[in-house]
Amino acid sequence: MSELESLTAAYQNLKARNQNIDMTRGKPSAAQLDLAAGMFDLVHSDDCKGEDGTDYRNYGILAGIPEARKLFARLMETAPDRVIVGGNGSLAMMYDALAGAVTFGVPGGDGPWNGAKFLCPVPGYDRHFAICERLGIEMLPVEMLDDGPDMDAVEAMVAEDASIKGIWCVPKYSNPTGAIYSDLTVDRLAAMKCAAPDFRIIWDNAYVVHHLTGEIATVKNIQKAAEAAGNADRILTFVSTSKISLAGAGVAAMSASEANVKDALERMFFATIGPDKINQLRHVRFFKDQAGIEAHMKKHAEIIAPKFAVVEEALSKAFAGTDLATWTKPEGGYFVSVDLTDGCAAETVKLCAEAGVKLTASGACFPYGKDPRDRNIRLAPTMPTPDELERAMEVFCTTAKMVCLKNKAG
C-alpha cells in the first residue's frame, strides 16, 4: 500500500469514530476558568466601596475605578491617567476607537475617515479584519515575519498613501503565528513617516502576559518610542483579562496619549454612564498587583503548555522532514499556525469537519477570509481536554497529510 492509500484508509477509520471536537476558537478551558474561581467571593453587598470610600454599586467613573487604572497602568507600562478601564472585552474598545475615527475623526486629523485603508499583517486575527470590513475600511495585507510585519513594505506604503490610516498589531505572541515584535520593528513603527497625519497603530497586546515557557518575552514600549519620535498620538494600546481571568467576564483597558484618552472619554460619555465597577473591583482584589497577575499566568501555563506540546509532537511526527507543512512553535499566546502545501488548507478543514474535528475556517486569518495561497490553518489547542486534543491532532495530521500527498500526486 502507498502512503497515500494507507492515510486514506486511516482517515476512513477516524471518520467512523463519530467524534465531535471543537478547535475553532482560542477559548480557555474550564480548568483555566476555574483558576479564577476565588474572584466570585471577593465583593459582597456590604463591601463595594473603593479605597476612597466611593460606592461602586452606583453610576459613574467613566474611565474606570482608580484601583483598576493603577493595576492596568503597571501591566501596560504607563501612568494611571493614561488608562481607561472599560467593560469585559477589548474588541469593543477597538471597535469603538475605529467607529469613532470613521464617524468623527481622531486628534490630529481633519475629520471623519472617509475611504480609509488599514494595513493588516497576515496571517492575523479574524476579528480585527471583521471590524474593518464592517466599517468599510479597506484592508491591505502585509506579510507577517518572525519579528513583526514586513517593515520595508509597511514604511513604503504608509509614506505614499495618505488614505492608509492605520495598522493592526498584536505585538507579543501574535495571533496566530506567535511572532514577537523586535525592538527594531517597534522603533520603525513608532518613527516611520506616514502620509496620513492621523495614522493609528492598534497595539492589541492581548497576550502580554500569556507565556507558555520559562522564556518571558518582552516587547519594547511603543508608546514611549512614539513619544520620543514626536508621534505620541499614533499609538492606541489595548489589553484585557479575557484570557487571564474569565473570557466572558473579564476587564479590558485602553492606554494612549493624553489627547487620545480625552477623545475616547468624550466618545464614551455618549454611550455609557460608567463601566461595571464591581467587576473591576473583583479583579483588583483578586490579582492585587502585577506580581499577582504573573503568578496567576504561571498556573495557566501549567495547564496549556502540555497541550501545545501535544500539538508540536503530532505535527513533528507527521511532517518533520517532509516538504508538506511548516508550523510555528510559539512561546506564548493561544495558537499554532500551520502552513500546508499551497491549495490544501480549505480541503483539509472540510475533511477534518467531516471526521468530527472542527477547525478555524480556512482563510479566516486573512482579510475578507481569503488566503491567496489556501495554505494556512490556525490550530487552537487550549479548549479541548488533552485526550480530545490527541484525538483531534490524529485527525488533523492524517487528513492534512492525505490532502497534501493527493495534491502532490496531482
Q: Please, which of residues 225-264 interact with ligand PMP by CB under 6 A? A: 240, 242, 252
Q: How far is the CB of 201 from ligand PMP (least distance, A)?
A: 14
- Residue whose C-alpha is closest to residue 96's, from 227, 275, 224, 247: 275
Query: How buried is residue 127: exposed, middle or buried, by Cβ count under 10 Å (0-12/13-18/19+)?
Result: middle
* AA letter at 214: G
Minimum CB distance to ligand PMP smaller for 90 or for 280: 90
**Helix runs in 111-235, H state only:** 126-135, 151-160, 183-191, 222-228
Q: Is the peptide bond before 123 cis (omega within 30 degrees of 0)?
A: yes
Q: Name the residue with cell 502552513.
A: 339
* Interaction pattern, residues 79-118, with ligand PMP; x per rule: CB under 6 A: ----------xxx---------------------------
Does 175 bind ligand PMP (CB under 6 A)? Our answer is yes
Give 91 or 345: the residue with its C-beta nearer to ligand PMP. 91
Output the CA angle 111-113-117, nearest 5 degrees: 150
First to last CA, the chain: 18
Instruction: Please report how close the Cβ of residue 127 comes to ligand PMP at its closest, in angstroms.
Output: 6
Residue listed under C-alpha cell 513533528: 316
At closest approach, how far in Å is the CB of 332 from ligand PMP?
12
Kindly state whether residue 170 participates in binding ligand PMP, applying the rule CB under 6 A. Answer: yes
Can you say whether residue 177 is alpha, beta or left, with left for phi > 0 and alpha for psi between -120 and 50 degrees?
alpha
User: Please, what is the minimum distance in Å from the beta carbon of residue 94 to ligand PMP?
Assistant: 7
Which of residues 63, 78, 203, 204 is near ligand PMP by CB under 6 A? 204
One residue of 11, 14, 21, 26 binding ligand PMP per CB under 6 A: 26
CB 177, min distance to ligand PMP, A: 11
- CB 115, CB 150: distance < 8 Å: no
| For ligand PMP, the closer CB: 189 or 397 | 189
Please report whether residue 29 would count as binding ligand PMP according to CB under 6 A. no
Cβ pair 181, 171 in contact under 8 A: yes
Q: Which residues contact ligand PMP by CB under 6 A? A: 26, 89-91, 125, 170, 175, 204, 206, 240, 242, 252
